[in-house]
Structure 1
Amino acid sequence: MTGYEDLRGRIDSTRPHTARIWNYWLGGKDNYPVDREAGDQIRAIHPGIGAYALADRLFLGRAVHHLVAEAGVRQFLDVGTGLPSADNTHEVAQRTAPEARVVYVDNDPLVLTHARALLASTPEGRTDYLDADLRDVDTILERAAGTLDLSRPVALMLLGVVIFVEDHEESYGIVRRLMDALPAGSHLVLSHTITSPAMPEVDAAVAFWNEHGTPRLTQRTPEQVERYFDGLELLAPGVVSCSRWRPGAPDGEEPEEPEEVAMFCGVARKAPS
């Protein structure tokens, strides 16, 4: 893992930050008063927005469990990790497959200060943390190869992170470059805040955030989110609200369709060429 030098100088506690607000909405303690104030203001604009954070987190758990238990994936590259929370990627994966390996990537100095919580691997497996930006594709792949075998299937986790790339084509290009470097049998797991005429309060909340917080967010339509999976085999049920991706139900019961949230997601497999 890279060093901790100059971290205090890189942390700005005077402006709200998405990772810390997300942590606040999830009930965490790794945030500042400015984050809690902004989080409350955003929730006043759109009272249901805290549910997005929970839905996204639960989607992560269901997707990782499926990939380990059903698809046999044993390697994960989690870019845009965010602050450690309950059931991080390595915890979900290693619960079923103790030998699973996970590389986390984030460029938030506050995340880096808490990264040791992401390195508590099982003895059989391994975790690592890279201080890098999503746009630094070559750096991510080069350094991840120190922990992961990139000749074998990898699950690329991009949960709530491509929203920080404003240019559409640049964001699609980043995802393509990462997936192009991974072999057949790899998977893309992605979630993204959407914009929809049916959810104007979401647009208002994002507009408030972009005026007061950092970094800026870019919403995309469900159709634009689906484009990230071009050339891959989308797993059922396709690109849907995070709350509706294989929610499950108690044994013997039909699952009720959960309420839709404006955080959409999908999981897709890279087939042999």
Structure 2
Amino acid sequence: MTQPGQAPSTVDTTQLSHARAYDYVLGGKDNFAVDRAAAEQVIALAPDLPALGRAQRRFLLRVTRMCAEAGIRQFLDIGAGIPTAPNVHQSARAVDPAARVVYVDNDPIVFTHNNALLATDDGVVSIKADVRDPDRLLEQLATDGLIDFAEPVLVLFIGLFHLVTDAEDPAALVARFRDRVAPGSHVAISQFCVDGSDRAAKAKLEEISVNSPAPMTFRRRDEIEPFFDGFELLAPGVVDLPLLLPDEELPPTKLRVAGGVARKR
């Protein structure tokens, strides 16, 4: 077990990790100098980035609670990131204490932290896997009995697909999950959006991610919409983050996040 501020021996603490940089943006402490430096370069151009990050977390929790209240009892958080309270399992279990939650991430530090946090929590599991290999992930989920694909599940891809390139085909990745989950399942997606984003801040974020394991890919809203093909998009569709939090007042931010929620019939 690693101690706070200590990395597993296999982790290169001189290479940017998007999960750790996001942790820093959200006010967390599980990050290193390279992550803080990268985040600060973007914050210098988009000072409201932390507010945007927190709003995206609220969207994740809002969708989780909505689906739990609708009767969904399984939650699959792919690209979960470093634990930030409240978490998906806390939100889901506030509605049903028996809700099952699986956190998935390919970052070894995320996996280490999630395992430490969830080690004694029955029905809440952390696994190390990559969305870019959906068949392997789906097989593990089914074989280990972590998700019952005969029952509805909420699949969360929050703040993930801007770390997946066009060549890696996010729409096809989502389709693999769509084809496997039961009717009544929901999917929630958000990612950095070209439309309305400040050019300088967008360029800086793309620049600093070039040498990371996952270069940043901003997309237009009409490029994000096909990720929901085969689902029924819920109102208001694929829109800016503030419209996904209609009971909050979120001023326009320098960088924009767009997304939506959809249901499988």
Contact 2:76 2:102 survives alignment (8 Å)? yes
Q: How does 1:12-51 map to 2 (within 5 A)?
A: 12-51=12-51
Alpha-carbon separation, structure 2, partners of 1:63 and 1:167: 26
Name the CA shift for 1:120/1:151 in 2 (closer, same or farther; >3 Å): same
Name the CA shift for 1:96/1:240 in 2 (closer, same or farther; >3 Å): same
What's the counterpart of residue 183 of structure 1?
182
Alpha-carbon separation, structure 1, partners of 2:75 and 2:129: 16
1:262 aligns with 2:234: no
Alpha-carbon separation, structure 1, partners of 2:83 and 2:26: 11
Length, aligned pairs only? 256
Name the CA shift for 1:169/1:15 in 2 (closer, same or farther; >3 Å): closer
Structure 1 residues not aligned, in runs of 5+: 1-6, 249-254
Contact 1:46 1:205 survives alignment (8 Å)? no
Name the CA shift for 1:214/1:41 in 2 (closer, same or farther; >3 Å): farther
How far did residue 168 of structure 1 move? Answer: 5.4
Return the match for 2:136 from 139, 145, 149.
139
Q: How does 1:47-196 map to 2 (within 5 A)?
A: 47-69=47-69, 71-119=70-118, 126-145=123-142, 146-167=145-166, 170-196=169-195
How far did residue 31 of structure 1 move? Answer: 0.4
Name the CA shift for 1:256/1:78 in 2 (closer, same or farther; >3 Å): closer
How far did residue 188 of structure 1 move? Answer: 0.6
Alpha-carbon separation, structure 2, partners of 1:194 and 1:230: 18
Alpha-carbon separation, structure 2, partners of 1:102 and 1:225: 26
Alpha-carbon separation, structure 2, partners of 1:80 and 1:240: 21
TM-score, normalization by structure 1: 0.87
The runs of 4+ residues in structure 1 deviating greater than 6 Å are none
Contact 1:195 1:202 survives alignment (8 Å)? no
Identical aligned pairs, as a percentage?
40
What's the counterpart of residue 4 of structure 1?
none
Q: Which amino acid aligns with 1:132?
A: A
RMSD of equivalent CA atoms: 2.0
Alpha-carbon separation, structure 2, partners of 1:109 and 1:167: 24
